[in-house]
């Protein structure tokens, strides 16, 4: 793999003149200095950020191939230069492409934000740029957290606002700043935090980021929180800052509930359960306000109990998740929280009424449903281990190699990452991508797919994904019997798994048709998918197949076909009167009817 014989060759490659002088071998043997950061900024001011990024990339790669302890520090410096060098237009174009190909439904939410040809680095003041480039801990959390679904302009804009509020607080609570930046970059969907309250009673939106930042810092310093914010990583703090309750409600909750972390689950039952509403099927909050004190006074059904408990937990600085049911009865709801041992308790209120109800929670960073394996990863907490972080470092260099077209080096770096942490899902995807680009023989790729499926046996949705890829590969080279046998086993496993494992295949088929077959072809595909996967399907199928396709028809001016699509779905799916699916199908039908007029 070594394309650089020794460190001196790296120095020769990186010896471009900058304000502070040449990069020497001794400098590469330590973390980038303040003088080097200033020199990089000075060069960027004259030549642009993109000009220096290739040299920093090669420096990092050379150090990595020399097994230098400083490889990651210089790698992060390259990542910042590469990020800052992107123009707004380039970054937003990539973001739009990612949103379009994903299930995220907020692509038009930021359509009005102008994107110019200025580099992203110009959005942040020099002092902030110097801090983030010089802090390896900040860089580690930031680039670990950053998702392709995070809006690049708004992330940097939010970080800048928090820095300008108070640079000292920013540095002390950098993890909190990162969490707010990646959550508050895009407005939440209209159904957030749940669908059983009107926007009049609870406006759907997020608070000003500086206000949220100040609130949690002051609360932490006042000893009002149950979790120490400075010790929690940004990956967990994002489940604290995603509050839909106003800050005065949060202050009220802090004072009202002097509850220990171990007893936080009891807050669920503080809300008196309204049997009358449940029996009468009044699933929508009947009041004019959905403030926490009003919920406590009026009582509510399970969705109100879950919302209330989750908000109280956030007010106390505790990462919380709210679950809404997707099983035979989509009306149930419960919550989960991060306990004092660093483990997620995900079933608070879960078994109060029905033990068979499955549910989903929303990731506030992407506003998409958290997958089964992601919930398990959260609960197990292995991604905070030093071994996993080392594995992610190798992942980073695998990506660098892929971008440079050095596929063999990318495969080797990804293989190292997998060997260190077999549950590093990103590493497996990078390994497979490198094999594909190298044109590796199908049998070699199939061996990797089998290995990956075995590594993820405890995570049914991931295991099924790798097995489905293996089925496609076997069929492509004529191994029909083996492919059918494996496909049958995957289908059998899915019958006892969550509904969304079956829905995944339906979604993939329909999405591909919508992208390539045109309107008429995708309509035929929709009814085929509905007939194959829609019998007795529930809310997950509705959210991932029916609703997106109906929106697709309406967007393309086909309301009559949209009416038929909704009607056929209602006849085939498992629709119980007054359950969540019944209500959402009704709301969708009303929207389609309005489009006809």
Q: What is the pLDDT along the chain (597 residues), one digit of tens a residue?
A: 444 333 333 333 343 344 334 677 888 888 899 999 999 999 999 999 988 899 999 999 999 999 999 999 999 999 999 999 999 999 999 998 888 777 666 655 565 677 889 999 999 999 999 999 999 999 999 999 999 999 999 999 999 999 999 999 999 999 999 999 999 999 998 888 988 999 899 988 899 999 999 999 999 999 999 999 999 999 999 999 999 999 999 999 999 999 999 999 999 999 999 988 877 878 899 999 999 999 999 999 999 999 999 999 999 999 999 998 754 344 588 999 999 988 899 888 875 444 444 678 899 999 888 888 888 888 888 888 999 999 999 999 999 999 999 999 999 999 999 999 999 999 999 999 999 999 999 999 999 999 999 999 999 889 988 988 888 888 888 888 887 888 777 755 554 444 555 676 677 778 878 877 788 889 988 998 888 788 888 877 888 899 999 999 999 999 999 999 999 999 998 888 877 788 889 989 999 999 887
Whether residue 504 contacts residue 541, with contact meaning beta carbons closer than 8 Å, is answered with no
Distance in angstroms (rounded) separating the CA atoms of residues 545 and 528: 12
Q: What is the pLDDT of residue 358?
A: 60
- pLDDT computed for residue 492 by the predictor: 53
Which residues, including other chains, have CB under 8 Å from residue 105's CB and lie 6 or more apart?
189, 367, 548
- pLDDT for 13 equals 34
**Three-class DSSP labels, 116-152:** CCCEHHHHCCHHHHHHHHHCHHHHHHHHHHCCCCCCH
Give the fold, CATH level 3, of 499-596: 1.25.40
CA-to-CA distance for 372 and 403, rounded, in angstroms? 30
* Residues in a beta bridge with 344: 338
- On whether the CB atoms of residues 316 and 233 are closer than 8 A, the answer is no
Q: Residue 361's closest CA among 533, 540, 233, 177?
A: 540
**Do the Cβ atoms of 499 and 574 come closer than 8 Å?**
no
Report the C-alpha gap between 354 and 341 in whole angstroms. Answer: 28
Name the phi and psi angles at 472, rounded to 5. -60, -40
What pLDDT score does 352 carry?
A: 45
369 forms beta bridges with 362
446's tokens: 């199939």
152-182: burial string, b at 16+ Cβ within 10 Å, e else: bbbbbbbbbbbbebeeebbebbbbbbbbbbb
What per-residue confidence (pLDDT) applies to 104? Answer: 67
Q: Are strands 320-325 and 333-338 parallel, antiparallel or unpaired?
A: antiparallel
Handedness of CA 456, 458, 459, 462 (dihedral sign): positive
3-state secondary structure of 103: coil
Residue extent(s) of CATH 1.25.40 domains in the chain: 499-596
Q: Which residue has the tokens 């006892």?
A: 496
Q: Which helix (H) or strand (E) holds 61?
A: helix 49-65
Say which residue the tokens 């003088």 belong to: 35
- Specify the pLDDT at position 111: 59
Determine the pLDDT at residue 109: 59
Say if residues 166 and 177 touch (Cβ distance below 8 Å): no
- Which tokens belong to 503? 């829905």
Question: Across the beta sheet with 333-338, what order do the strands follow?
Answer: 344-348, 333-338, 320-325, 359-360
Rounded to the nearest 5°, which phi and psi values hold at 563? -60, -45
Q: Give the SS3 label for residue 595.
A: helix
């Amino acid at each position: 793999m070594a394309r650089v014989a020794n460190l001196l060759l790296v120095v020769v490659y990186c010896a471009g003149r900058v304000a502070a002088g040449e990069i020497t071998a001794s400098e590469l043997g330590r973390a980038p200095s303040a003088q080097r950061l200033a020199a990089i900024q000075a060069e960027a001011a004259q030549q642009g950020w993109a000009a220096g990024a290739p040299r920093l990339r090669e420096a990092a790669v050379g150090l990595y191939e020399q097994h230098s302890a400083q490889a990651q520090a210089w790698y992060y410096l390259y990542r910042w230069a590469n990020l800052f060098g992107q123009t707004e237009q380039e970054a937003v174009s990539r973001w739009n492409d990612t949103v379009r190909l994903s299930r995220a439904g907020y692509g038009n939410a930021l359509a009005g934000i102008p994107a110019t040809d200025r580099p992203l680095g110009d959005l942040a003041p020099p002092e902030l740029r110097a801090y983030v480039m010089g802090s390896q801990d900040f860089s580690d959390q930031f680039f670990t957290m950053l998702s392709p679904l995070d809006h690049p302009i708004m992330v940097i804009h939010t970080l800048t606002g928090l820095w300008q509020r108070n640079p000292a607080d920013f540095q002390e609570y950098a993890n909190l700043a990162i969490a707010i930046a990646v959550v508050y970059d895009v407005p939440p969907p209209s159904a957030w935090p749940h669908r059983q309250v009107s926007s009049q009673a609870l406006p759907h939106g997020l608070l000003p980021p500086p206000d949220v930042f100040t609130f949690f810092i002051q609360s932490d310093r006042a000893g009002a929180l149950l979790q120490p914010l400075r010790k929690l990583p940004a990956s967990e703090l994002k489940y604290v800052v995603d509050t839909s309750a106003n800050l005065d409600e949060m202050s009220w909750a802090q004072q009202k509930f002097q509850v220990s972390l171990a007893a936080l689950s009891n807050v669920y039952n503080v809300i008196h359960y309204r049997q009358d509403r449940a029996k009468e099927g009044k699933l929508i909050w009947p009041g004019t306000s959905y403030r926490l004190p009003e919920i406590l006074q009026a009582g509510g059904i399970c969705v109100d109990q879950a919302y209330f408990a989750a908000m109280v937990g956030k007010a106390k600085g505790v990462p919380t998740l709210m679950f809404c049911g997707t099983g035979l009865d989509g009306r149930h709801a419960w919550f989960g929280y991060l306990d004092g041992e660093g483990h997620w308790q995900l079933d608070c209120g879960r078994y109060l009424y029905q033990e068979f109800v499955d549910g989903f929670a929303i990731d506030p960073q992407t506003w998409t449903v958290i997958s089964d394996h992601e919930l398990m990863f959260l609960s197990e907490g292995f991604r905070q281990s030093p071994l996993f972080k080392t594995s992610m470092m190798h992942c980073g260099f695998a990506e660098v190699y892929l971008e440079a077209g050095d596929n063999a080096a990318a495969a080797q770096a990804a293989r190292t990452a997998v060997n260190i942490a077999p549950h590093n899902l990103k590493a497996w995807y990078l390994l497979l991508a490198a094999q594909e680009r190298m044109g590796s023989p199908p049998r070699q790729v199939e061996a990797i797919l089998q290995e990956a499926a075995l590594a993820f046996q405890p995570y049914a949705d991931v295991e099924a994904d790798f097995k489905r890829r293996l089925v496609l590969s076997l069929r492509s080279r004529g191994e029909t019997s083996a492919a059918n046998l494996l496909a049958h086993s995957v289908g059998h496993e899915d019958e006892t798994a969550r509904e969304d494992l079956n829905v995944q295949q339906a979604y993939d088929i329909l999405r591909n048709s919508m992208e390539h077959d045109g309107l008429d072809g995708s309509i035929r595909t929709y009814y085929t998918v509905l007939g194959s996967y829609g019998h007795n399907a529930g809310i997950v199928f509705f959210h991932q197949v029916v609703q997106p396709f109906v929106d697709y028809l309406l967007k393309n001016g086909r309301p009559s076909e949209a009416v038929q699509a909704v009607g056929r779905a209602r006849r085939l799916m498992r629709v119980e009167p007054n359950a969540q699916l019944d209500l959402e199908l009704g709301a969708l039908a009303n929207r389609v009817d309005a489009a006809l007029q």
